Amino acid sequence: MLDSLEHLTPAQIVAELDKYIIGQQDAKRNVAIALRNRWRRMNADASIQKEIVPNNILMIGATGVGKTEIARRLAKIADAPFTKVEASKFTEVGYVGRDVESMVRDLVEQSVNMVKTKKKEEVKQRAAEIVEDIILDALIPPIQGRSTTPVSMAAHPDAIPDSDYELNERTREKFREKIRNGELEDRKIEIRIQQSAMPGMGVMGPGMDEASMMNIQEMISGMMPKKTKKRKVTIAEARKILLEEEASKLIDMDEVKEEAIFKAENSGVIFIDEIDKVASSSKKGSGPDVSREGVQRDLLPIVEGSTVNTKYGVINTDHILFIAAGAFHVAKPSDLIPELQGRFPIRVELQSLTKDDFYQILKFPKNALTKQYEALLASENVSLSFNDEALDEIASMAYEVNAEVENIGARRLQTIMSRLLNDILFDVPDKIGANAQILVNREMVREKLAGMVKNRDLSEFIL
């Protein structure tokens, strides 16, 4: 699981992040070191392995500069379970709202899904063979009660003669070939599929936490008999439905849970966004500030390392990597309670995006907005392209709007690109037919976005 990190040095991790995120080299270096340290810890001497704790990271920067994207891509590189939460959604224990332990349960759920997907892939071939037999049985049911000798025929008058059995088998084999060749994909068959015994079941009770409620739901659901229902679907649909069902039967869920807990504990990443929203600007006070400090104190044991009950088992949070982020426009990192500050020893300040950053964001990342729109129109056989002058003009406008209205970082590009290309997206394919070639140049950008230059208020373009 962590073996894949062996071949990823910090420099290579940064190079991977560079494919999707422009700039912010300091942040990338720090998360790359944190990720490599995961592998280093797992390969350290066993006597000290448990003592090595991750250096949690606090990212400080305006919205849209790449904080979430860095954390998300980092988890993807490591093939690690990742969950993002907003600190402002949590409330102090005793108030109505989500409790902080729910983020750990979300992480375990994500980890279970990842391991389950991997295990299903391993048994996919075997499940496909079982599904093929089920589909074949629905098309040409096998003959039961085969007779092999005249003696058995005399003893069992209802037995099927060899010739009928062999004819049935030959027919089945012919249809098996047709199924494998995809000749019968649109033929409808009747299959039985499992359905949930108690969909939407809820359990309520005084003082019951989320974990206890989930455990009771699962226990009651497990006691209920499994029901099946008949459905008439095409063979193509049947294969998709049955493949999922049969693959689930073939995997050992106890093994999945055990591996998922280990994966979440040792490679899980929890991204806590908007942590500045629970920072108290005054050290003493009442009302909202007290509740904010309460949320911080609830977060503290999770980040420090504690055990959390989940429906898949108990998880220890000692070695989960926590990355917190916030704009800190009003509050300062020093407004967080000292104990929580101490649990985020790595501080990284992300820079606001420049005009050149916008230009590079439009041109170079694998998931650049320009490439996304090109792919969308390519599905209609329409070729869309942008020249460098157009990208420069779009970048210039995005930078100006952010400077004059509100800085929302790279998200501003989505507003501008949508405004720029909406007419084209609407006219394809009715007015702009297949094989059309559209080049976006500086003149077209200025014409389409003329309103943005004239309207100094720019309120229309605030997301």
Position 58, amino acid? L
Whether 46 shows a pLDDT value over 70: the answer reads yes
Reply yes or no on whether the pLDDT at 82 is more than 70.
Answer: yes
Q: Which of the two residues, 116 and 450, has the higher pLDDT score?
A: 116
Q: What angle do CA 306, 312, 317 make, to 5 degrees?
A: 20
Least confident of 127-131, 140-144, 395-399, 437-441: 140-144
Query: What is the fold, at CATH topology level, of the domain defined by 3-118+262-349?
Result: Rossmann fold (3.40.50)
| Residue 463 predicted with pLDDT over 50 | no
Indicate if the pLDDT at residue 56 is higher than 90: yes
3-118+262-349 and 355-461 have identical folds: no
The listed range with the strongest mean pLDDT (45-54, 273-282, 369-378) is 369-378
pLDDT at 214 over 90: no
pLDDT value of residue 165: 76
Is 251 assigned to a binding site?
no
Residue 453: predicted pLDDT: 53
pLDDT in tens, 331-353: 899 999 999 999 999 999 999 99
> 411: annotated binding-site residue?
yes
Residue 90 has what pLDDT?
83
Per residue in 289-299, pLDDT (tens digit) is 557 888 899 99
* Identity at 178, one-letter amino acid code: K
pLDDT at 201 over 70: no
Which helix (H) or strand (E) covers residue 383, if one does? strand 383-386
- Percentage of the chain beyond pLDDT 70 is 81
Specify the pLDDT at position 168: 83
CA distance 31 to 322: 11
State the pLDDT at residue 456: 47
* Cα–Cα distance, 41 to 406 (Å, whole number): 43
Whether residue 103 has pLDDT greater than 70: yes
Q: Is 68 assigned a ligand-binding role in the annotation?
A: yes
Average pLDDT, stretch 125-147? 83
70: pLDDT strictly greater than 80 = yes
The 3-state DSSP class for residue 140 equals coil
63 among the known binding-site residues? no
> In the prediction, which pLDDT does 153 show?
44
Annotated ligand binding at 69? The verdict is yes
> Which pLDDT tens digit goes with each residue over 431-444?
998 899 999 999 99
Strands (E) in 119-267, as ranges, are 188-195, 227-234
Residue 214 to residue 109: CA distance in whole angstroms: 12
Residue 210 has pLDDT above 60, yes or no: no
What pLDDT band is residue 155 in, cutting at 50, 70 and 90?
very low
pLDDT of 150 > 50? The answer is no
d(CA 419, CA 450): 11
Determine if residue 335 is labeled as part of a ligand binding site.
no
The pLDDT of residue 5 is above 50: yes
Q: 99-108, 159-168, 241-250, 301-310: lowest mean pLDDT where?
A: 159-168
Confidence (pLDDT) at 208: 52
Residue 160 has pLDDT above 90, yes or no: no
Average pLDDT over residues 123-152: 77
- Judge residue 206's burial from the number of C-beta atoms within 10 Å of its C-beta, 0-12 exposed, 13-18 middle, 19 or more buried: exposed
| Weakest mean pLDDT among 61-75, 134-148, 418-432 | 134-148
Q: Is a pLDDT exceeding 80 seen at residue 197?
A: no
CATH number for the domain running over 355-461: 1.10.8.60
- Looking at residues 171-195, what average pLDDT do you find? 86
Domain locations in the chain? 3-118+262-349, 124-250, 355-461
* pTM, 2 dp: 0.80
Asked if residue 66 belongs to a known ligand binding site, the reply is: yes
Mean pLDDT estimate for the chain: 84
